Chains A and B, each alone.
Chain A
Amino acid sequence: MEPQLGFVEQSFDLRYTGWVREALNELPDCFTITDPCISGHPIVFASNGFLKMVGYSKDEVIGKNGRIFQGPETDRRAVMEIREAVRAERAVQVSLLNYRKDGTPFWMLFQMCPVYSKEDGRVINFVGVQVPIVLRKTRLSGLGISRNEINLCEDTVLRCCRREVCSDSILELRRESVSSSHDDRDVEINEPCDASELEKTKASAATSNILSVLTHYSELTGRLMFLFSVKHCQDWPQLLILLLLFLEHAIHRTDALLPDMPIVYASDAFMKLTGYARHEVLGQNCRFLSGIDTDPTTQFQIKECIRSQQACTVRILNYRLMTDCFLQIISLELLLFLTLLLFAAFRKDRTPFWNFLHISPVRNASGKVAFFVGIQIDDHCNYRELHGLRPEMRQLSVVGAVKVAVRSLSMGASTS
C-alpha cells in the first residue's frame, strides 16, 4: 500500500520546513530519508546523488519502500539486519547489493541512522546513506584501502584518490564500480563485499552533514537528538570538521538544548572496542543509557567541576575495554548525561574496567564556556607512553587542540 506522493512529501516538509530539500540537495552524497511513521515506511526524500546512482527519477522513488532497489542476488541476511535495526530503532551499517533501474547490480555500503523526536523519543525519520564500494579481489582481504592491497595496478588507487579530488561526480563513481568489476574477473558479483575504512568514513561524514542539516531545519529546534562519532582523537581533521558543525549548533542553540537531550560525539575507537561497531552506537537514544554501578562520589566530583567550570580528572569504572583515547563533546547542561554515557550500557559485554576521564571547559571566541570536552584513557591496556608522551599529556594535547580549534573557528563565525 503506497501512500500518495503529495502526502508523503508534505509530512517531510512540515517537519523541517520547505527549504530543507534544497539544502539537502546541496550535499553531493547519495542518501535517502524515510519515514517510519507512515505505513509502508516510504522514502520521503532522495538526494540527487542517489537518484543519479540508481537511475530512477524522483517520482519513481518517493513514496516507495527501500526494497525496490533490492533484487535476486541481494543478500537476505543483510536485509534482515536492516529490518531488525528499523524495528529496534537503531543504526546499522551493512554492505548491500542493490540494483539500478536498468537492472545492473552494484555493491554499496549502506549506513542507516535514526532521527528521534524529543517530545516522545520516537523515531521520526531514518537517514540512509549509500556509498558505492569499489570492488577488489576479496582474497586480498586486508586493512582497508591501501596501495599494497589493491591488486589492480596503482591506477585504481590513483583513480580512487582522483575521484576524491575531483569532487565525486556520480558518473565517475558508476564508471569506477562498473569498470573495476569488469577488470576483476575473479570476483563474483554476489560475493559479500566489505567496505573499506575510506568508504565507512565517507558514510559517517555524509551522515553527519545530513543530520546537521536536518537539525537546523527542524522547526522543533533542538528537539532532535543523535550521536555523532569521530575517529580516534589523533585524527583531528574529521574531529574538527565535525566540531565546526557542532559549533553551529552549540553556539546558537545552547539555550534550546534541553537538559536531558544531549548531543554527543564519541569516537570510533570507543565504539569498536566496546564490542559494537561505531554505527551501532550511532543513533543510540539516551533511553538506552542506564544507570550503572558507578561510585556516586565520582559522579558528584564531575558535576562539581563542571559547575565551577574547572578541569578535572577522575578515575571511573566503565564497561568493556577501551584501548585508546576517545573524545566526547557535550554541551554545557549535560554533565549528568556525560556521566551516563561514559558508563553507557553497551550491552554486548559488561566487563568492567577502569579508565581516566579528563574533563575540561572549552571557550569559544566570545570568551564564554561553550561546552566541555571529555577525554578518556583506558587504565589497563593503553596506559603507556606513546613516543614518550604520557597518556595524560596526550589527553591534554587533545584538549589543547580542541581549544585552539574552537576559539579560532568561532572567531570567524561570531556575530559580535
Chain B
Amino acid sequence: MQLAAAAIASEAAAFQFTGDLNGLGSKLALYAFKKVNKVIPDNGSVGSENKELPVEFLDSLLLGEWEDRMQRGLFRYDVTACETKVIPGKYGFIAQLNEGRHLKKRPTEFRVDKVLQPFDENKFNFTKVGQDEVLFQFEPSENNDAQFFPNAPIDIDNSPSVVAINVSPIEYGHVLLIPRILECLPQRIDRESFSLALHMAVEAGNPYFRLGYNSLGAFATINHLHFQAYYLAMPFPIERAPSKKITTTSGGVKISYILNYPVRGLVFECGNTMEDLSNVVSDSCICLQENNIPYNMLIADSGKRIFLFPQCYAEKQALGEVSAEILDTQVNPAVWEISGHMVLKRKDDYEGASEGNAWRLLAEVSLSEERLEEVKELIFESICCLIVENKVVTETTIEESAVTPQSHEDMDALKGSHHAICLCKIVCYGVRAFFQARVRLCMWVEAPSPSFCLARVVLDQPIANKVLPQKEGGSRKT
C-alpha cells in the first residue's frame, strides 16, 4: 500500500534537511552503486579494474561517516563500550551486554499481530530524524560504474534512498538503509526495495557487513520501510549451519532448508543473475507478508546467501506460551538474535550466557517442522513459475554448501584482486574463524595484485594464536 504521489509533498515538508526543501541548498552525498546483473561475462568487463571506485570505498565511506557521527555525539551510547564475547560452543553465538539500548531505544508503536499495516505519519518515521543522522544517498548509477558525489543535490522528485545511522546501535557501523525515504513506505518488502538492499550487500563486498530485515510482528519497531546493517568481523552462527537443498528455480536460484539450527528456515543462494536471486527472495517475502506470517531476513556473505526465517514468537508470547525464564531476559528475537548475535540486557544473563541458553531461546522462535513445510509450500506456490526441478532433495554438508557454484566462482575470480584487499575477509582467514573463507580465498588467488600478494603472504604466516600458548581459562577461537 503506497501513499499517493500527492502525499509526497506533505511528507517532504517534514524532512529535515538544511535549506529549502524545494531543492535549493539541500545537498547530501550520493553513492551511486553499479547495478549488477551478474551475467556470466565473456570479456571480464563486470567487476574489472575499470571501476572508478576501489571496492572498499563503500566501507570507507560508511565507517568514516559513522565515526564522524560518533565523535559528534549523535549516538545514545558508545556501543564499543559494551562488553561482548563469543560464547564457547560449536556455533559460536555472540553475546553482548547492552543495558543502554533497551532503555534508550524508541518504543514499538504499532500492533504486533499484523504483518501488513498502513503507514501512519503521526507515528515516528525516518523523515523525522535529524539531518545529521543521514549519511548519504544510495542510488543506482547512471552509467556502468560505481561513483561517489560528495555534494549531490537531493532530488525529491526522484525519491532518493538513503543510509542513516541507527542511534541505538547494536554494533559499530549500525546503519539503516531506507528505500525511497520520502515516499514513506510501510515496513513491507517489494522487489525494488529488496533489490536495493541486495545491491548494497554486493557493493560493500564485505562478508562481515550483513543486512537484516524484520517484518512487523517479527520485532520491527518502526513501520517505515528500512533494512539494517552493521559490521561484525566474526562469522554468525547461522552462517555455519549446514543446509539441505530443496530445489532450484528456473533462474538458477537454489533454495534449501537450514539444518541443525534452533530456528528453522530457508536459505536462498546462487541464481543466474542477481535479479533472479532478488526476485525469488522478494516474491517469497511478499508471499509471507500476504499470508500474515511474520518473518526475519538476513542477507549474508556479500549478498550471496539470503536466510529467511518465518517466526511465531510474538504469537506465542501473546498466547502465554513462552516460559517466564525466557521472557525475563527481555530478548526480542529479531533478525540479529536469530542469526546468533544476542544483545542481552541483564548482566546475569550475559555472565551466564551459554550455547544451550541461546539455543533454547531461539528454539522458541522457530516454526515447527510441519509448519515450516506448510509455509514452504505456500511460498513455492507463489513462485511456482520459477521452479524447475521438483523437490530434488540432496543432503549437503557444511563443506558442500560452502563451495560456491560456477556462477559465483566467475564472479569471485573477477573480483579477485578487489576481494583480496577487503579487510575483513583477510582477517577472517587469519583468525581461522570463518570456515567458508578457506575455500573462498583459494578461489580469489587469480589476480596477483601487489596488495593481494601482500595479504596472502601475511596470511601464510602462522598468527599469534598458533604460536603462543593458550592462556589459562580462555577459550580461543581456532
Mark A residues whose CB is within 8 Å of B: 19, 23, 26-29, 144-147, 157, 160-161, 164-165, 167-168, 197-198, 201-202, 205-206, 209, 212-213, 216, 231, 234-241, 244-245, 248, 252, 311, 360, 362-363, 365-368, 385, 387-390, 392-397, 399-401, 403-405, 407-409, 411-416
Which one of B8-16, B299-307, B420-428 is at the A interface? B420-428
State whether A389 and B71 are in contact (beta carbons under 8 Å apart), knowing that A212-B464, A366-B83, A412-B86 are contacts in the complex. no
B454 touches A237 (CB 8 A): yes
Q: Chain A residues near B150 (CB, 8 Å)?
A: 385, 388-390
B86 touches A367 (CB 8 A): no
Which one of B312-320, B357-365, B444-452 is at the A interface? B444-452
21 contacts between A and B (CB under 8 A): A26-B467, A146-B449, A160-B453, A198-B453, A209-B461, A212-B467, A213-B467, A235-B454, A236-B421, A237-B421, A245-B464, A248-B464, A385-B150, A387-B53, A390-B150, A400-B62, A401-B59, A408-B232, A408-B233, A409-B233, A416-B83
State whether A164 and B456 are in contact (beta carbons under 8 Å apart), knowing that A407-B172, A415-B473 are contacts in the complex. yes
Q: Chain B residues near A390 (CB, 8 Å)?
A: 150
A387 touches B148 (CB 8 A): yes
B458 close to A (CB within 8 Å):
yes
B427 touches A405 (CB 8 A): yes
State whether A404 and B63 are in contact (beta carbons under 8 Å apart), knowing that A209-B461, A367-B81 are contacts in the complex. yes
A28 touches B172 (CB 8 A): no
B83 touches A27 (CB 8 A): no
A198 touches B474 (CB 8 A): no
Q: Chain B residues near A28 (CB, 8 Å)?
A: 460-462
Q: Which of A231, A240, A404 has the most CB of B within 10 A?
A: A404
Given contact pairs A239-B423, A400-B173, a sample of 8 additional A-B residue pairs in the complex whose CB atoms are under 8 Å apart? A28-B460, A205-B461, A252-B471, A365-B84, A390-B150, A405-B233, A412-B86, A415-B473
| Chain B residue, CB-CB nearest to A416 | B85
B463 close to A (CB within 8 Å):
yes
A212 to B458, CA, bound (A): 14
B431 touches A393 (CB 8 A): no
Task: Write the nearest CB–CB distance from B425 to chain A, whole angstroms.
Answer: 9
Task: Write the nearest CB–CB distance from B351 to chain A, whole angstroms.
Answer: 9
B457 touches A198 (CB 8 A): yes
Task: Write the nearest CB–CB distance from A145 to chain B, whole angstroms.
Answer: 7
A45 to B208, CA, bound (A): 41
Q: Chain A residues near B60 (CB, 8 Å)?
A: 389, 393-394, 397, 401
B431 touches A237 (CB 8 A): no
A397 touches B458 (CB 8 A): no
Q: Chain A residues near B172 (CB, 8 Å)?
A: 400, 403-404, 407
A355 to B88, CA, bound (A): 45
Residue in A197, A407, A412, A415 whose beta carbon sits within 8 Å of that of B477 in the complex: A412
B400 close to A (CB within 8 Å):
no
A205 touches B81 (CB 8 A): no
State whether A387 and B57 are in contact (beta carbons under 8 Å apart), knowing that A198-B453, A408-B208 are contacts in the complex. yes
Mark out the residues of chain B between 206 and 220 whose CB falls within 8 Å of any chain A CB in the assembled complex: 208
A146 touches B467 (CB 8 A): no
A393 touches B457 (CB 8 A): no
Task: Write the nearest CB–CB distance from A306 to chain B, whole angstroms.
Answer: 15
A209 touches B467 (CB 8 A): yes
Interface residues on B, range: 35 or more
9 closest A-B pairs by CB: A400-B63, A408-B233, A236-B423, A397-B64, A412-B477, A237-B455, A237-B426, A415-B474, A397-B60
A411 touches B421 (CB 8 A): no
A27 touches B456 (CB 8 A): no
A395 to B67, CA, bound (A): 10
A146 to B449, CA, bound (A): 7
A416 to B424, CA, bound (A): 24
State whether A27 and B81 are in contact (beta carbons under 8 Å apart), knowing that A164-B460, A240-B423, A400-B172 are contacts in the complex. no
Q: Chain A residues near B86 (CB, 8 Å)?
A: 411-412, 414
Task: Write the nearest CB–CB distance from A215 to chain B, whole angstroms.
Answer: 10
Q: Chain B residues near A366 (CB, 8 Å)?
A: 83
Q: Chain B residues near A311 (CB, 8 Å)?
A: 71
B462 touches A209 (CB 8 A): yes
A411 touches B94 (CB 8 A): yes
A23 to B9, CA, bound (A): 68
Q: Chain B residues near A388 (CB, 8 Å)?
A: 29, 148-150
State whether A206 and B234 are in contact (beta carbons under 8 Å apart), knowing that A26-B467, A145-B453, A240-B426 are contacts in the complex. no
Residue in A197, A209, A404 whose beta carbon sits within 8 Å of that of B450 in the complex: A197
State whether A198 and B52 are in contact (beta carbons under 8 Å apart), knowing that A160-B448, A241-B427, A408-B232 are contacts in the complex. no
Q: Chain B residues near A168 (CB, 8 Å)?
A: 460
B433 close to A (CB within 8 Å):
yes
A54 to B317, CA, bound (A): 71
| Chain A residue, CB-CB nearest to B477 | A412
A240 to B463, CA, bound (A): 11
A411 touches B64 (CB 8 A): no
A52 to B17, CA, bound (A): 67
A367 to B83, CA, bound (A): 5
B442 close to A (CB within 8 Å):
yes
Task: Write the nearest CB–CB distance from B444 to chain A, whole angstroms.
Answer: 10
B54 touches A27 (CB 8 A): no
A234 to B60, CA, bound (A): 9
B476 touches A412 (CB 8 A): yes
A236 to B172, CA, bound (A): 17
Q: Which of B29, B83, B231, B454 has the most CB of A within 10 A?
A: B454
A164 touches B426 (CB 8 A): no
A236 to B430, CA, bound (A): 13
Task: Write the nearest CB–CB distance from A393 to chain B, whole angstroms.
Answer: 4
- Residues 38-74 of chain B: 1 if any A CB is under 8 Å from the residue's CB, otherwise 0? 0000000000000011101101111111111001000
Q: Chain B residues near A368 (CB, 8 Å)?
A: 81
A182 to B309, CA, bound (A): 61
A205 to B60, CA, bound (A): 25
A338 to B471, CA, bound (A): 30
State whether A145 and B85 are in contact (beta carbons under 8 Å apart), knowing that A241-B458, A363-B80, A394-B64 are contacts in the complex. no
B5 close to A (CB within 8 Å):
no
A400 to B150, CA, bound (A): 19
Q: Chain B residues near A403 (CB, 8 Å)?
A: 67, 80, 172
A409 to B208, CA, bound (A): 12
A415 to B454, CA, bound (A): 31
B468 close to A (CB within 8 Å):
yes
State whether A412 and B234 are in contact (beta carbons under 8 Å apart), knowing that A161-B453, A389-B148 are contacts in the complex. yes
